[in-house]
Structure formats: C-alpha cells, structure tokens
Structure 1
Amino acid sequence: MIRSYTLITTEPNELMRPIHERMPVLLHPEEEDLWLSDAPADEHLLSLLSPYPSEEMKAYPVSSLVNSPANDGPEVLEPVAEQGDLFS
C-alpha cells in the first residue's frame, strides 16, 4: 500500500465565497477515523466532501507574508489592522 497526501477542495461556504471560488475539505475530529479507514468509499464517506460550516470558522486579514512559502512562522497568521473591506 502506498500512503500519500492529497488536498481535496470543494465549493466554498458563505464565509469563504467572497475570498475564493473553492476551499479545502475540512473534517471534524470525529470524522477523521472514518476518512482514514480502509473502508471502501460509500455515500457516507463521500458526504464528508462538503463545505465546512461557516459559523464554525473565522476570517481576518493577515500580512502579505502569507504569500511566500519562505515565510513559515507564527507571524504569518497574526491578524493585522484592517485596511478597508476584508473582501474587496
């Protein structure tokens, strides 16, 4: 068996829609074991590929440091003062 990593995207939820036309599939912790199991894909497993609930997420502006993979520290995620509308 070859174990690998894949980023799966889905349509955006209400929070992400103004930012991008897709978003990563995010799992609740209780769904992780099912996703990682060797069970064959079925409707229940495929149902996990839906947008994460927007009410369980938060959006805030961050520095442009986030645009470079060379920047890999906690400062990349620090909120910055808003300059105008976050989604304009």
Structure 2
Amino acid sequence: MAHYVLHERKIGDGIFDDALYRSGLPHQEKVQANALAADILMPRDRVREMQRLHGDNINYLANLFWVSEQAMSIRLGVPT
C-alpha cells in the first residue's frame, strides 16, 4: 500500500502483485515506501513505549505489532 500511496503514477495501471513487488521502482522509492509502511505498522513512539514496558524481546514486540521479527529488528536498529 505504501508504494501505491507514494508512487501511484509509477507502478502502472492498477494494484497487482507484479506492480507492487516487482515494479522496478528505483531504490530510493522502495526505501520511502518501506519507511512509510514501518511508520504505519510500528510507530516509533509506541514501539519505544512498549520497549520500556516489556524490554527488548524482539519476538514479543514483533508479535505485539503483528510484524515479522526481521521488521522489528530493523525498527529497533538491532542487527539480524
């Protein structure tokens, strides 16, 4: 969805698997879309609050926000 919101004109004439995942968008546009998705799914202030309450358990935090452990690790700046 973030690709569509940010780069609708560049991904083609509709929302298709190929258009979003293999769109050929430049690297910077992929980075922008990933950042927007992370901000929506894992707001920094909410992640920090949950981290203070529950510690640095990546598995727990990932489950809490319904994201992958890899996504949460990236959000926390922890090497995977």
Q: TM-score, normalised by structure 2?
A: 0.26
Structure with more of its chain in strand, by fraction:
1
Structure showing greater radius of gyration is: 1
Q: TM-score, normalised by structure 1?
A: 0.25
Structure with more of its chain in helix, by fraction:
2
